[in-house]
C-alpha cells in the first residue's frame, strides 16, 4: 500500500517536472499559468473528496469557502490602513509585524496586512464558519448537509455581489504578491506567489508542492489512521460506527472543517496568483462543478479526483468548452449519477483499459 | 453489572417495553427470548442507548447510562453485533475489525494526517489486536478480503471479531444465530462460551431456542413487552406460562 503511494507520487512529480520542461522547450510556457490555477482547484477538490467520497457528506457550498479564503485575504491585503495609522490598535498590529507597506499599480503607497497574516485570518475564518454551519447540520443524517451548504453558498455569493467593500460585481483587484521567500534570505529577488511572468515557473512548482502535500496528508488520514477509518465507517453505517465508539457527529464536523480549510487555502493562494478575485468564484455553479469533479474522479479516489480536477479545470480555463463551460460539468455530473452513482471506480470490471486510468482506490 | 429498573418504552399508544427490570451479573451469559413482537429488539436498542427510554433507568457499574450516546457506551466497555449485519462497505475485513478497536486508540485527526511515531505504534497495536481477534474466530486468512464479498456466516464472524476488538466488558448480541445453520449455531455457542471464559459478560437476544438453552446461565422471557419469567434454562423449559405463549395453552409438556 505504502509502496504503491510512493510510486504514484513519484510518477506525479515526474510528470509535473516533465510538463514544465516540455512547455519551456516548446516555448509554450503560458500553459503553466492555467496549470498552476488548475492545481489550486485540485487542492479544493481533493479536500471535497475527503468529505464526500470518504465520509459520505455532500457539500454544495465549497465555492463559498473558496470565496471566504480568497475575498478575505484580498480584502486584508488591499484595504489601506494609512488613514488609521495613528490608531493604537493599528500601530500595535504594525509593531507585531502583521502589516506592511507596498506600492500598488498606480504608485500609491498602501499600509495593509501582510499576506501571511491575511491568509491565516482567512483560514481561521473559513474554519469557524464551517464549524457554525456544521454543528447544527451534521447532527442530522441524510442530505441535510447538502441543503444547508447550498443555502450557505448562496449567501456568500450574494454577499460578494452586494457588499461595496468586496467590490460588488467587480470583485477585488490589485492584490499584492504573496512573498514566500524574502529578498534578504538568499540575496536575490524575493520569490512570491504572483501572476507576474518572472514567477511563472516558481509559481507552478509552489502550487504543485502545496497540492501534493495536501494529498499526502489526506492519504495518511484516510488509508492508515484511526480517524480516517472512522470516517469511512460512518459513511456506510453511522449506527455501526457509533457502536464501535466513533463519535460520528464530531468526526463529520472535523472532516467538514478540514475540507473547508482546503477550499479556503486554494482560494487564498489562487487569489494572490491571479492578483484578484471576483464573485464568479462564489457561484453555486462552481460548487456544483467541484461536486462533479469528485464524482468523475471516482468518488473515493483522491488520485482520480486530483487527475480529473486538474485536467478538466485546465481545459475549462483554456476555454475548450467555450460557452458550454457550466453545461459540460452539469453533463458530467448527470452522466456519473446515471451510470456510476458510486463513482467511476465502480466500473472497474467493465472497462478493459481501466488499468490505465488513475481510478483505482487508494 | 448491568441493571434495568422499571424500563418502559412507548411508541405512541404501543407499550413496546413495559416495566421490565432485571440484572445481568458480571461473567454471566444472559439470554432474552420471546415470541415475535415481544419487544426484544426494542429492549436491545434501549440497552445499547440507540433509542431513548420513556421511563425507568439502566445502570452499568452503578452509573446511569440511559442518556449516553452509543459511542459513549462503547467507551464504557459495551460492544455489540447487529441482527441484520452492518459491516463497513469499501473496507477489508481487517480494517472493519480495526474500527472495532476505535475506542482503544487516542490518535486524533491531525495525528492521522502526520504519521508521527507514537501514532504509528498505536496503529500497529490496533492492527495486532485485530489480527488476534480474526485468528480467534478462525478467519485470519480473510483479513485482506473485502468485507462485503464474504459469505453470510463469515460476515457474522467478522461482526463478532469487530466487537471483540474493543476488548469489551459487556457483549451485546442481537440474534447472533439468525441465518446460521445448525452446525454454525453450535460453533457459535462454543465461541460465546469461550468469550465468557475470558471474562466478558454476554447479553443475547435470540430466537434460536437450542442456542439459548445450551449456553445461557439465565433467561428472561418477554411477552407483549412485559417480563413473563426469569430463571435458569431448565426451569424456563418447564414454566407453564412460557410454554403457553410459545406453544399454546393446551400443550402438554412431554414427560
Each residue of B181-199: pLDDT tens digit?
Answer: 888 899 999 999 999 999 9
Q: Are B99 and A233 in contact (CB < 8 Å)?
A: yes
In degrees rounded to 5, what are phi and psi of residue B183? -70, -45
Q: Does A220 touch chain B (CB under 8 A)?
A: yes
Q: Which residues of B touch A239 (CB under 8 A)?
A: 50, 70, 82, 86
Min CA distance, A287 vs chain B (Å)? 25
- B155 and B188 within one domain: no
Q: Does B90 touch chain A (CB under 8 A)?
A: yes
In a domain, B82, yes or no: no
CA distance B57 to B77: 18
Q: Are A245 and B109 in contact (CB < 8 Å)?
A: no
B32-42 tens-digit pLDDT: 998 888 888 89
Q: Are A237 and B88 in contact (CB < 8 Å)?
A: yes
- B69 and B178 within one domain: yes
A27-68 tens-digit pLDDT: 998 999 999 999 999 999 999 999 999 999 999 999 999 999
- B133 and B174 within one domain: no
Q: Which residues of B touch A244 (CB under 8 A)?
A: 71, 74, 79, 99-100, 102-103, 162, 166
Q: Which residues of B touch A241 (CB under 8 A)?
A: 88, 99
Q: Does B117 touch chain A (CB under 8 A)?
A: no
Pick from B48, B99, B108: CB nearest A241? B99
Question: Got the DSSP string for B110-130?
Answer: HHHHTT-HHHHHHHHHHHHHH
In a domain, B83, yes or no: no
pLDDT at B159 exceeding the cut of 80: yes
In a domain, B85, yes or no: no
Name the residue in chain B with its Cα closest to that of A244: B100
Based on the structure, what is the number of domains in chain A? 1
The boundaries of the domain holding residue B62 are 1-77+168-255
B98-121 tens-digit pLDDT: 999 998 888 888 888 987 888 889
The boundaries of the domain holding residue A132 are 29-283
Q: Does B167 touch chain A (CB under 8 A)?
A: no
In a domain, A325, yes or no: no
In degrees rounded to 5, what are phi and psi of residue A228? -65, -40
- The 3-state DSSP class for residue B17 equals strand
* Residue A362 confidence (pLDDT): 40
Instruction: Give ipTM to 2 decimals.
Output: 0.90
In a domain, B84, yes or no: no
* Residue B130 confidence (pLDDT): 95
* Residue A344 confidence (pLDDT): 63
Mean pLDDT for chain B?
90
CA distance B41 to B84: 12
- B17 and B57 within one domain: yes
pLDDT at A18 exceeding the cut of 70: yes
Mutant choice from A216, A223, A240, A255 vs B, greatest count of B C-beta within 10 A: A240
- B228 and B204 within one domain: yes
In a domain, A148, yes or no: yes
Q: Does A224 touch chain B (CB under 8 A)?
A: yes
Question: Got the DSSP string for B72-87?
Answer: HHHHHTEEE--SS--P
pLDDT at A26 exceeding the cut of 60: yes
Q: Are A240 and B95 in contact (CB < 8 Å)?
A: no
Q: Does B99 touch chain A (CB under 8 A)?
A: yes
* Residue A4 confidence (pLDDT): 79
Q: What is the largest CA-CA distance in chain A?
A: 70
Q: Does B166 touch chain A (CB under 8 A)?
A: yes
B45-89 tens-digit pLDDT: 999 999 999 999 999 999 999 899 999 999 999 999 998 899 998
- B243 and B226 within one domain: yes
- The 3-state DSSP class for residue B8 equals strand
Pick from A228, A239, A258: CB nearest B86? A239
In a domain, A179, yes or no: yes
pLDDT at B248 exceeding the cut of 90: no
Tell how strand B170-174 and strand B201-205 pair up. parallel
* Residue A353 confidence (pLDDT): 46
pLDDT at A297 exceeding the cut of 90: no
Mutant choice from A134, A245, A246, A258 vs B, greatest count of B C-beta within 10 A: A245
* Residue A349 confidence (pLDDT): 47
* Residue B253 confidence (pLDDT): 58
Q: Which residues of B touch A253 (CB under 8 A)?
A: none
Q: Which three cell numbers stand for residue A83?
A: 488613514
pLDDT at B90 exceeding the cut of 70: yes
- B198 and B184 within one domain: yes
Mean pLDDT for chain A?
89
A251-266 tens-digit pLDDT: 999 999 999 999 999 9
DSSP B214: H
- B186 and B161 within one domain: no
pLDDT at A164 exceeding the cut of 60: yes
| Among A247, A345, A223, A257, CA closest to A68 | A257
In a domain, A164, yes or no: yes
Element (H, E) at B171: strand B170-174
**How close are the terminal C-alpha atoms of chain A, in Å?**
8
Q: Does A239 touch chain B (CB under 8 A)?
A: yes
* Residue B31 confidence (pLDDT): 93
Based on the structure, what is the number of domains in chain B? 2
- B136 and B71 within one domain: no
User: Which band of pLDDT confidence, cut at 50, 70 and 90, is reported for residue A144?
Assistant: confident
Q: Which residues of A touch B123 (CB under 8 A)?
A: 224-226
DSSP B149: G
B202-238 tens-digit pLDDT: 999 988 888 899 899 999 999 888 998 898 988 988 8
* Residue A352 confidence (pLDDT): 46
Q: Between the CA of residue B162 and those of B99, B125, B147, what are the distances in Å?
A: 7, 15, 12
User: Which one of B126, B145, B166 terminates a domain?
Assistant: B166
Q: Are B126 and A237 in contact (CB < 8 Å)?
A: no
- B196 and B70 within one domain: yes
- List the CATH number of the domain containing B24: 3.40.50.300
Q: Between the CA of residue A283 and those of A47, A65, A260, A290, what are the distances in Å?
A: 18, 11, 16, 11
A322-347 tens-digit pLDDT: 899 999 999 988 888 888 776 665 55
* Residue A361 confidence (pLDDT): 44
Pick from B69, B78, B90: CB nearest A232? B90
Q: Which residues of B touch A238 (CB under 8 A)?
A: none
Q: Are A237 and B108 in contact (CB < 8 Å)?
A: no
Q: Are B112 and A221 in contact (CB < 8 Å)?
A: yes
- B255 and B172 within one domain: yes
Distance of CA A100 to the CA centre of its chain: 26
Min CA distance, B109 vs chain A (Å)? 6
User: Which band of pLDDT confidence, cut at 50, 70 and 90, is reported for residue B168?
Assistant: very high
B21 close to B5: Cβ distance less than 8 angstroms: yes
Amino acid at each position: 500500500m505504502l509502496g504503491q503511494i510512493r510510486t504514484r507520487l513519484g510518477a506525479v512529480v515526474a510528470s509535473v517536472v516533465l510538463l514544465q520542461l516540455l512547455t519551456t522547450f516548446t516555448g509554450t510556457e503560458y500553459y503553466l499559468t492555467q496549470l498552476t490555477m488548475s492545481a489550486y482547484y485540485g487542492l479544493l477538490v481533493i479536500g471535497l473528496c475527503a468529505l464526500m467520497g470518504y465520509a459520505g457528506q455532500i457539500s454544495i457550498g465549497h465555492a463559498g469557502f473558496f470565496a471566504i479564503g480568497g475575498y478575505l485575504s484580498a480584502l486584508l491585503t488591499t484595504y489601506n490602513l494609512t488613514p488609521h495609522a495613528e490608531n493604537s490598535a493599528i500601530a500595535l498590529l504594525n509593531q507585531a509585524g502583521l502589516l506592511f507597506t507596498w506600492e500598488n499599480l498606480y504608485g500609491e503607497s498602501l499600509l495593509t496586512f501582510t499576506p501571511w497574516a491575511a491568509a491565516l485570518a482567512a483560514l481561521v475564518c473559513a474554519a469557524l464558519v464551517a464549524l457554525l454551519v456544521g454543528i447544527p447540520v451534521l447532527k442530522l443524517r441524510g442530505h441535510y448537509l447538502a441543503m444547508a451548504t447550498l443555502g450557505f453558498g448562496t449567501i456568500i455569493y450574494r454577499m460578494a455581489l452586494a457588499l461595496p467593500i468586496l467590490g460588488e460585481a467587480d470583485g477585488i483587484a490589485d492584490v499584492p504578491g504573496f512573498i514566500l521567500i524574502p529578498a534578504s534570505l538568499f540575496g536575490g529577488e524575493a520569490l512570491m506567489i504572483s501572476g507576474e511572468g518572472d514567477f511563472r515557473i516558481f509559481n507552478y512548482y509552489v502550487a504543485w508542492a502545496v497540492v501534493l502535500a495536501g494529498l499526502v496528508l489526506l492519504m495518511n488520514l484516510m488509508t492508515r489512521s484511526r480517524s480516517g477509518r472512522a470516517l469511512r465507517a460512518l459513511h456506510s453505517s453511522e449506527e455501526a460506527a457509533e457502536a464501535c465508539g466513533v463519535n460520528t457527529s464530531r468526526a463529520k464536523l472535523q472532516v467538514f472543517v478540514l475540507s473547508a480549510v482546503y477550499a479556503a487555502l486554494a482560494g487564498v493562494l489562487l487569489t494572490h496568483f491571479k492578483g484578484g478575485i471576483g464573485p464568479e468564484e462564489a457561484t453555486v455553479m462552481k460548487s456544483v462543478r467541484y461536486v462533479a469533479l469528485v464524482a468523475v474522479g471516482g468518488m473515493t479516489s483522491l488520485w482520480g479526483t486530483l487527475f480529473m480536477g486538474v485536467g478538466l479545470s485546465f481545459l475549462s480555463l483554456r476555454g475548450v468548452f467555450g460557452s458550454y463551460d457550466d453545461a459540460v460539468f452539469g453533463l458530467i455530473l448527470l452522466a456519473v449519477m446515471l451510470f456510476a452513482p458510486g463513482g467511476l471506480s465502480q466500473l472497474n470490471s467493465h472497462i478493459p483499459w481501466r488499468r490505465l486510468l488513475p481510478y483505482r482506490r487508494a | 453489572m448491568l441493571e434495568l429498573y422499571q424500563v418502559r418504552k412507548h411508541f405512541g399508544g404501543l407499550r413496546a417495553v413495559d416495566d421490565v427490570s432485571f440484572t445481568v451479573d458480571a461473567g454471566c451469559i444472559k439470554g432474552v427470548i420471546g415470541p415475535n413482537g415481544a419487544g426484544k429488539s426494542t429492549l436491545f436498542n434501549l440497552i445499547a442507548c440507540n433509542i431513548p427510554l420513556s421511563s425507568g433507568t439502566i445502570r452499568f457499574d452503578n452509573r446511569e447510562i440511559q442518556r449516553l450516546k452509543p459511542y459513549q457506551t462503547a467507551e464504557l466497555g459495551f460492544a455489540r453485533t447487529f441482527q441484520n449485519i452492518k459491516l463497513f462497505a469499501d473496507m477489508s475485513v481487517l480494517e472493519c475489525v480495526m474500527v472495532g478497536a476505535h475506542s482503544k486508540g487516542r490518535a486524533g485527526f491531525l495525528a492521522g494526517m502526520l504519521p508521527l511515531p507514537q501514532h504509528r505504534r498505536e496503529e500497529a497495536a490496533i492492527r495486532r489486536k485485530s489480527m488476534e481477534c480474526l485468528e480467534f474466530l478462525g478467519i485470519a486468512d480473510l483479513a485482506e478480503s473485502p468485507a462485503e464479498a464474504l459469505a453470510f456466516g463469515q460476515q457474522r464472524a467478522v461482526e463478532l471479531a469487530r466487537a471483540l476488538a474493543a476488548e469489551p466488558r459487556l457483549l451485546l448480541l442481537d440474534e447472533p444465530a439468525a441465518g446460521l445453520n445448525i452446525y454454525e449455531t453450535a460453533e457459535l455457542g462454543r465461541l460465546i462460551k469461550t468469550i465468557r471464559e475470558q471474562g466478558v459478560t454476554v447479553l443475547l437476544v435470540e430466537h434460536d431456542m437450542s442456542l439459548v438453552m445450551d449456553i445461557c446461565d439465565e433467561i428472561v422471557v418477554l411477552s407483549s413487552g412485559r417480563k413473563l419469567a426469569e430463571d435458569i434454562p431448565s426451569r424456563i423449559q418447564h414454566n407453564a406460562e412460557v410454554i403457553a405463549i410459545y406453544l399454546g395453552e393446551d400443550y402438554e409438556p412431554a414427560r
